[in-house]
């Protein structure tokens, strides 16, 4: 859907002028320069009116890559953006901005954001009117809709064993147990307060609550729910609270579950924990990439753990959890309720089972039903 530019106060140009503009590779807006940082701030200020603050933060993080690209290219005025530079950014984001090439799905999401950003700049007359349509959006094959994010069950077991031995009931141990036991998003862990944990029950559980403009759940009020946790997990959570948790009360009178001496633990700290302990060299001392560990930045600096090709983000644990439970036969509807994700999204993005696995699982379920009931008529 195209929107009319309600900000346009320029006098109408004659036909010859409009033809000249369309044949020019750059739009002359030199009288109104705009820096990358200013453009990003204006865009996010505009988007705050229609999206949650958590999404605004995610947009800001992604647009940092664009700002870094502009810095490398010495672009200090976005009036000069053109199709060639956008193409350069596409290749930079795809191949150079991370330790390995980004997936088609990630690129598609990021480039849609860039197109939205450029469309906003068009509205405020900061770039050429035809520039948004020059943003490249990769096309996905049907089988690419399922993300290739894998961390094996064996690796998970090794990591949890390591944490139980050397990091028992620390925040690292709690973070990994939470992700591998619940399949929830990072925002769910970040939002937990002590009052959301019911650990001393016969059937312990967690309650997820949405707090607008403070600790938001991705799906807002619809994401609120309660989920069961195993007694062993509840015991570790309780030991963390009693042995390692910093006593913190926020300015709004809340008592966060995960804390540091500065307050509620940040999402970035939680994310670094997952990158840190998903490095194989930390768990078993071996490097599958044949790197010199003494000279490897990803090994020697915890803040650079994400540069290890084998390290994984929190999403990998959520993806692995949902995929594993599907293979175990947990109904999609039940899994969606626990993990706060729709059945459609599960089937499109998380279900890695092939036709044989699905057939064998269906057969297993049918056999279990037939053993419990004496079927008559239908076989």
Where exactly are the structural domains of the chain? Answer: 22-144, 153-314
Q: What span, in angstroms and rounded, lies between the C-alpha atoms of 34 and 15?
A: 28
Q: What span, in angstroms and rounded, lies between the C-alpha atoms of 204 and 228?
A: 6
The pair phi, psi for residue 335, each rounded to 5°, is -65, -40
Question: How many Cα atoms sit within 13 Å of 122 on the Cβ side?
Answer: 20
Q: What is the pLDDT of residue 99?
A: 72
Structure tokens at 203: 């059937």
Cβ–Cβ under 8 Å, residues 182 and 243: no
Q: What is the pLDDT of residue 348?
A: 81
Q: What is the pLDDT of residue 363?
A: 79
Q: What span, in angstroms and rounded, lies between the C-alpha atoms of 194 and 197?
A: 6
Q: What span, in angstroms and rounded, lies between the C-alpha atoms of 228 and 278?
A: 26
What is the average per-residue pLDDT within 69-96? 94
Among 89-103, 150-164, 342-356, the least confident range:
342-356
Tens of pLDDT, residue by residue over 267-317, are 999 999 999 999 999 999 999 999 999 999 999 999 999 889 899 999 999
| Beta pairing partners, 207 | 226
Beta-carbon count within 10 A of 274 CB: 24
**In angstroms, what CA-CA distances link 294 with 154, 287, 291, 297, 298?**
26, 11, 9, 8, 10
Tens of pLDDT, residue by residue over 114-149, are 999 999 999 999 999 999 999 999 887 655 555 556
Q: Is the pLDDT of residue 372 over 70?
A: no
Cβ–Cβ under 8 Å, residues 264 and 197: no
CATH of the domain spanning 153-314, picked from 1.10.443, 3.40.1800, 1.10.260, 1.20.120: 1.10.443
Structure tokens at 173: 């141990």
Tens of pLDDT, residue by residue over 24-78, are 344 454 558 999 999 999 999 999 888 877 788 889 999 999 999 999 999 999 9
Q: What is the pLDDT of residue 22?
A: 35
Q: What span, in angstroms and rounded, lies between the C-alpha atoms of 331 and 352?
A: 15
Cβ–Cβ under 8 Å, residues 173 and 163: yes
pTM of the model as a whole: 0.67
Q: What is the pLDDT of residue 10?
A: 42
What's 77's DSSP letter?
Answer: -
Tens of pLDDT, residue by residue over 188-209, are 999 999 999 999 999 999 999 9
Q: What is the pLDDT of residue 327?
A: 85
More confident residue, 69 or 105: 69
For the packed helices 53-72 and 36-47, what is the interaxial angle rounded to 10 degrees? 160
CATH of the domain spanning 22-144, picked from 3.30.110.40, 1.10.150.130, 1.10.10.60, 3.40.50.300: 1.10.150.130
Q: What is the pLDDT of residue 377?
A: 53
Tens of pLDDT, residue by residue over 309-363, are 899 999 999 999 998 898 888 889 999 999 999 988 888 878 777 788 778 777 7
């Amino acid at each position: 859907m195209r929107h009319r530019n309600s900000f346009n106060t320029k006098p109408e140009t004659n036909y010859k002028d409009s033809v000249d503009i369309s044949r020019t590779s750059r739009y002359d807006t030199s009288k109104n320069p705009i820096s990358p940082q200013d453009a990003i701030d204006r865009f996010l200020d505009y988007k705050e009116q229609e999206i949650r603050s958590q999404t605004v933060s995610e947009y800001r993080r992604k647009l940092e890559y664009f700002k870094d690209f502009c810095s490398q290219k010495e672009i200090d005025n976005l009036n000069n953006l053109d199709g060639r530079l956008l193409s350069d950014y596409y290749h930079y984001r795809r191949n150079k901005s991370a330790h390995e090439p980004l997936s088609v799905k990630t690129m598609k999401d990021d480039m849609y954001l860039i197109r939205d950003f450029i469309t906003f700049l068009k509205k405020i007359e900061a770039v050429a009117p035809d520039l948004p349509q020059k943003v490249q959006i990769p096309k996905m094959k049907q089988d690419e809709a399922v993300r290739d994010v894998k961390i094996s069950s064996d690796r998970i077991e090794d990591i949890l064993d390591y944490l139980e031995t050397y990091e028992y009931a620390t925040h690292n141990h709690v973070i990994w147990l939470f992700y591998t036991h619940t399949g929830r998003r990072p925002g769910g862990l970040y939002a937990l307060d002590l009052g959301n944990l019911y650990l001393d029950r016969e059937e312990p559980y967690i309650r997820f609550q949405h707090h607008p403009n403070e600790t938001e759940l991705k799906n807002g009020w619809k994401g609120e729910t309660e989920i069961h946790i195993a007694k062993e997990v509840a015991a570790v959570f309780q030991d963390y609270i009693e042995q390692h948790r910093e006593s913190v009360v926020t300015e709004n009178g809340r008592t966060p579950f995960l804390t540091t001496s500065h307050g509620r633990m940040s999402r970035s700290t939680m994310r670094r924990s997952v990158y840190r302990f998903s490095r194989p060299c930390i768990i078993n001392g071996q490097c599958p990439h044949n790197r010199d560990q003494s000279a490897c930045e990803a090994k020697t600096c915890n803040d650079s753990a994400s540069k290890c090709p084998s390290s994984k983000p929190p999403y990998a644990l959520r993806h692995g959890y949902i995929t594993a439970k599907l293979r175990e036969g947990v109904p999609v509807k039940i899994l969606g309720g626990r993990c706060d994700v729709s059945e459609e999204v599960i089937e499109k993005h998380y279900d890695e089972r092939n036709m044989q696995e699905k057939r064998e699982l269906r057969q297993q379920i049918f056999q279990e039903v037939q053993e419990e009931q004496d079927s008559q008529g239908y076989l």
